[in-house]
């Protein structure tokens, strides 16, 4: 039986009806990874032995009386930023190549409580610095629709794994677009939560005021289930919110009557591929037919989002990467003649070019003579962006716009352009700065501007749905309604 591209809801039903065991399901995906991932490089580490043991434990639980947790026995992949006890966690960086955490992140622990089965850890841009996975120390991942193109990033390994059918879902993280952008480019559904909705404890930090752990799957309904499981207050993460976690999946509704959807004109940026614009506007028409009221809105401070992010993110990165000194853990040189040389050589060998670039930029911005001129001013503009979103959400329930201005570019484009990430994520960064929840869901295909693609239909286009803080239910409802009306999320590459 072929289990690739089945939704979590479909897999849950098959497991509960004993049509397949967790061990059989796990072996199926492990075999698929073994046969296919050499072409896509979506995994850094495959945890075959642990996965089969956990699958056997899940089958024993399923055989016992009582209701099964939603994820019980279902395999998944985790971006290699999530600490996993006893399993190598690298952040796709040489400086952590041999790091084995002594503890699990909060999210991993919640999934263990569900008796879900970890297949392995996925590739990413080193320390999540990038939008293509091309900064990974283990080489780039490839797009499921065209192996000559990027899968996006930094969660490119997760999006490639799900998009290729190597895992039914994957954990991911986002700082400024790292869930929405790769989900869009790989033609899958991705959820970026409200900042503080999901615990960051045990996740290797990039930008502490921005990092948001989320998920990638095949449907919005699946993401709603995952949000229920992953979300909630964590005493080990003081930034998690106290708002109660709703029963997102149970309350999900396709009724859009009375729902106001805002279309921000600034998100249809100059240089956007015409095919992307066309597909997104087709999706807006579908939502209108379903009963939603479409309202044109303006977010003029959007244009400053990438500029603010280019200051705030490196500043937080320079602070967070200070702990990797060659002494406490991670890569250490063997020939340092004194402590300073151990520091400098270990960091020089362990960090890639992008990490070094961001460390230097952040350190410069935070230095005594420039803090007020750059970092402090950027935070003031960030507050303007937050306030602007808050005012718009007094007029509308959600915002709808493209997830990216283009379909997947070719490999090499990002590596040649240090500013690629800031441009690729320009439609995601403002919402991330404001800590807003968002989805990216498939809304069709478009031909790339370079005109080259192995598919006559083109490459996937993503529809972005943005909600107010802790407005997960609103975005799930709109995304679910769209997926009831269309079948774009059911389109998968011929692997």
Band of pLDDT at residue 271, cut at 50, 70 and 90 = confident
What is the pLDDT, as a whole number, of residue 270? 85
Cβ count near 480 (within 10 Å): 23
Please state the pTM of the whole predicted model. 0.96
What is the pLDDT, as a whole number, of residue 419? 66
Structure tokens at 490: 């059911």
User: In Å, how far are 172, 234, 268, 421 from 153, measured between CA atoms?
Assistant: 10, 27, 21, 9
Give mean pLDDT, residues 108-117. Answer: 98
- Give the Cα separation of 18 and 23 in Å (integer): 12
Q: Which residues, 6 or more positions from 409, have their beta carbon under 8 angstroms from its beta carbon?
A: 132, 149, 150, 448
What is the pLDDT, as a whole number, of residue 52? 98
Residues pairing with 442 in the sheet: 462
Give the rounded percent of residues in the chain with a pLDDT score beyond 70.
97
Give mean pLDDT, residues 325-341. Answer: 85
Give mean pLDDT, residues 318-344. Answer: 87
Q: Which phi and psi (to 5°) does residue 460 adopt?
A: -60, 145
Instruction: Please check whether residue 206 is in contact with residue 315, taking contact to mean a CB–CB distance below 8 angstroms.
Output: no
- Higher-confidence residue of 235 and 419: namely 235
376 is catalytic: no
Q: What is the DSSP letter of 140?
A: -
Residue 240 has pLDDT above 70, yes or no: yes
Which residue out of 79, 115, 142, 192 is catalytically annotated? 79
Domain ranges for the chain: 8-299+388-488
Average pLDDT, the chain: 95
What is the pLDDT, as a whole number, of residue 495? 85
What is the pLDDT, as a whole number, of residue 326? 83
Which residue out of 92, 132, 178, 318 is catalytically annotated? 178
Residue 416 has pLDDT above 80, yes or no: no
Residue 335 has pLDDT above 90, yes or no: no
Band of pLDDT at residue 290, cut at 50, 70 and 90 = very high
199: closest CA among 280, 310, 105?
Answer: 105
What confidence tens digit (pLDDT) does each residue in 433-490 have?
999 999 999 999 999 987 776 666 799 999 999 999 999 999 999 999 999 999 999 9
What confidence tens digit (pLDDT) does each residue in 41-62 have?
999 999 999 999 999 999 999 9
- Higher-confidence residue of 405 and 424: namely 405
What is the pLDDT, as a whole number, of residue 421? 66
Give mean pLDDT, residues 358-383. Answer: 93
Q: DSSP labels for 28-60? A: HHHHHHHHHHHHH--EEEE-HHHHHHHHHHHHH
Residue 336 has pLDDT above 90, yes or no: no
154 is catalytic: yes
Secondary structure element (H or E) that encloses residue 297, with its range: strand 293-297
131 is catalytic: no
Residue 253 has pLDDT above 80, yes or no: yes
Which residue out of 154, 155, 219, 318 is catalytically annotated? 154
Give mean pLDDT, residues 337-363. Answer: 89
3-state helix, strand, coil in the chain (%, to 5): 40, 15, 45
Q: Which residues, 6 or more positions from 148, have their beta carbon under 8 angstroms from its beta carbon?
A: 142, 410, 411
Band of pLDDT at residue 87, cut at 50, 70 and 90 = very high
What is the pLDDT, as a whole number, of residue 401? 97
What is 8-299+388-488's CATH number? Answer: 3.90.1300.10
Give the rounded percent of residues in the chain with a pLDDT score beyond 90.
85
Give mean pLDDT, residues 73-77. Answer: 98
Band of pLDDT at residue 33, cut at 50, 70 and 90 = very high
């Amino acid at each position: 039986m072929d289990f690739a591209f089945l939704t979590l809801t479909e897999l849950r039903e098959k497991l509960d009806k004993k049509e397949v065991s967790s061990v059989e399901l796990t072996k199926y995906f492990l075999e698929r990874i073994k046969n296919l991932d050499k072409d896509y490089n979506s995994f850094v580490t495959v945890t075959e032995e642990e996965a089969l043991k956990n699958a056997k434990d899940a089958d024993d639980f399923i055989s016992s009386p009582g209701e099964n947790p939603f994820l019980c026995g279902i395999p998944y992949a985790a971006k290699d930023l999530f600490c996993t006890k006893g399993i190598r966690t690298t952040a796709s960086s040489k400086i952590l190549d041999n790091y084995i955490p002594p503890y699990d992140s909060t999210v991993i622990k919640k999934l263990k409580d569900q008796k879900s089965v970890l297949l392995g850890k996925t590739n990413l841009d080193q320390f999540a610095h990038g939008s293509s996975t091309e900064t990974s120390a283990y080489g780039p991942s490839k797009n499921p629709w065209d192996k000559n193109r990027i899968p996006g990033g930094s969660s490119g390994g997760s999006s490639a794994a799900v998009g290729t059918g190597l895992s039914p879902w994957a954990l991911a993280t986002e700082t400024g677009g790292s869930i929405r952008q790769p989900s869009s480019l790989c033609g899958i559904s991705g959820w970026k939560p409200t900042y503080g909705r999901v615990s960051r404890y045990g996740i290797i930090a990039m930008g502490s005021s921005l990092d948001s752990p989320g998920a990638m799957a095949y449907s919005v309904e699946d993401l709603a289930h995952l949000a229920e499981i992953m979300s909630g207050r964590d005493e080990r993460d003081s930034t998690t919110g106290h708002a109660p976690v709703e029963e997102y999946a149970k309350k999900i509704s396709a009724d859009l009557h009375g729902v106001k959807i805002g279309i921000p004109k600034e998100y249809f940026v100059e240089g956007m591929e015409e095919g992307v614009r066309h597909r997104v506007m087709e999706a807006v028409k579908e939502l209108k037919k379903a009963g939603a009221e479409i309202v044109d809105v303006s977010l003029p401070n959007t244009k400053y989002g990438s500029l603010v992010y280019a200051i705030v993110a490196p500043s937080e990165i320079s602070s967070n990467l200070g702990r990797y000194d060659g002494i406490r853990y991670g890569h250490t040189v063997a020939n340092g003649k004194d402590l300073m040389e151990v520091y400098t050589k270990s960091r020089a060998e362990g960090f890639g070019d992008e990490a070094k670039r961001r460390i230097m930029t952040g350190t410069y911005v935070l230095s005594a003579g420039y803090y007020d001129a750059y970092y402090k001013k950027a935070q003031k503009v960030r507050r303007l962006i937050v306030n602007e979103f808050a005012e718009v959400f007094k007029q509308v329930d959600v915002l709808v716009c493209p997830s990216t201005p283009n379909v997947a570019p070719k490999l090499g484009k990002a590596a040649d352009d240090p500013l690629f990430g800031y441009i690729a994520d320009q439609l995601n960064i403002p919402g991330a700065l404001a800590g807003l929840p968002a989805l990216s869901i498939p809304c069709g295909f478009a031909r790339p501007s370079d005109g080259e693609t192995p598919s006559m239909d083109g490459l996937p286009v993503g529809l972005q749905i943005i909600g107010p803080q802790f407005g997960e239910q609103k975005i799930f409802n709109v995304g679910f309604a769209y997926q009831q009306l269309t079948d774009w999320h059911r389109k998968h590459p011929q692997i």
